[in-house]
């Protein structure tokens, strides 16, 4: 039942969607982007039930034991979504701002899902510059301040064009000013000095390992593993349809083991 329902959902989601991700596909057209909503807690605000977090700004966040994965949400949530993203990737921006990511954040607020971020920086080598590395370093610094999730949303809502290399120190600090309580001597210094350079390198290597023997350079971004099961590239369109992605998360929450046994 899970298998048939999932297949039907994916079939609907992928029809008409051509975004295949950075590292292995094309950038969505500008016509498909539309107006960008404001990122952060207010963008995802809704009535919360007893037991829910008050909003994205209240989600717990931590560095996992592997030293490279940033975990956001209830550690006991039944659905674990591991996301592989590069801050400069325009297809990641499509997912984060207009795709399924807002549904995922709402699921995290309801304690139904936790999000595990693996932050890549391969686009710097591919298109030139250092914006991905600088952004990943700044995101790691935001984690120290308990502001990773909020800052992550702001960076994608104001992502420069991929070819511009716009994530400079000055721009990253300017965007940090949009997150209440993030700017300060410790954060500013970490951004300017690339304090977490070793984390940036380790996270990129973790991303590359995730590609396995078939994709030694990494699986492409965005890529999602749900409860340990990777959504294949040919089904990646499900990530960009908020309604279908939200329905998929609900089905997996109701039958997490069935998902593992029947997916793909």
CATH of residue 106's domain is 3.40.30.10
Residue 95 is assigned to a structural domain of this protein: yes
Strands 113-119 and 79-85, by their bridges, are parallel
The answer to whether residue 29 sits within a structural domain is no
State the total domains in the chain: 1
What pLDDT does 261 receive? 67
pLDDT for the residue 194: 99
Structure confidence at residue 185 (pLDDT):
98
Which pLDDT belongs to residue 34? 39
Does the residue 59 lie in any domain? no
Quick check: is 22 in a domain? no
Phi-psi domain of 49 (left: phi exceeds 0; alpha: psi -120 through 50; beta: other): beta
Please say whether the beta carbons of 236 and 23 come within 8 A.
no
Kindly state the tokens that stand for 68: 């490279």
**C-alpha to C-alpha distance for 133 and 139, rounded to whole angstroms:** 10
Structural domain of residue 98, as residue ranges? 2-15+67-262
Whether 27 maps to a domain, the answer reads no
| pLDDT computed for residue 30 by the predictor | 39
The pTM for the full model equals 0.86
* pLDDT mean for each 10 residues of the chain (264 residues): 51 51 52 39 50 93 99 97 99 98 98 98 98 99 98 98 96 99 98 99 99 95 96 93 96 83 61
Q: What is the pLDDT of residue 5?
A: 53
């Amino acid at each position: 039942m899970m298998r048939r329902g999932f297949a039907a959902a994916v079939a609907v989601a992928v029809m008409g969607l051509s975004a295949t991700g950075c590292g292995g596909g094309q950038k969505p057209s500008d016509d498909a982007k539309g107006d960008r909503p404001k990122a952060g807690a207010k963008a995802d605000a809704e009535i919360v039930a007893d037991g829910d977090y008050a909003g994205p700004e209240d989600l717990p966040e931590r560095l996992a034991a592997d030293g490279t994965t940033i975990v956001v949400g209830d550690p006991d949530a039944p659905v674990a979504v591991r996301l592989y993203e590069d801050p400069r990737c325009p297809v990641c921006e499509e997912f984060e701002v207009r795709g399924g990511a807002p549904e995922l954040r709402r699921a995290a607020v309801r304690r139904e899902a936790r999000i595990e971020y693996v932050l890549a920086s391969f686009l710097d080598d591919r298109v030139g510059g250092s914006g991905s590395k600088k952004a990943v370093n700044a995101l790691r610094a935001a984690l120290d301040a308990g502001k990773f999730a909020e800052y992550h949303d702001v960076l994608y809502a104001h992502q420069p064009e991929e070819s511009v290399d716009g994530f400079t120190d000055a721009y990253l600090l300017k965007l940090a000013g949009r997150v209440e309580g993030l700017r300060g001597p410790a954060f500013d210094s970490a951004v300017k000095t690339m304090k977490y350079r070793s984390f940036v390198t380790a996270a990129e290597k973790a991303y590359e390992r995730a590609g396995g023997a078939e994709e030694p350079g990494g699986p492409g971004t965005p890529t999602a593993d749900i409860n340990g099961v990777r959504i294949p590239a040919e089904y990646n369109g499900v990530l960009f349809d908020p309604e279908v992605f939200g329905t998929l998360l609900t089905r997996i929450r109701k039958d997490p083991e069935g998902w593992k046994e029947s997916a793909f």
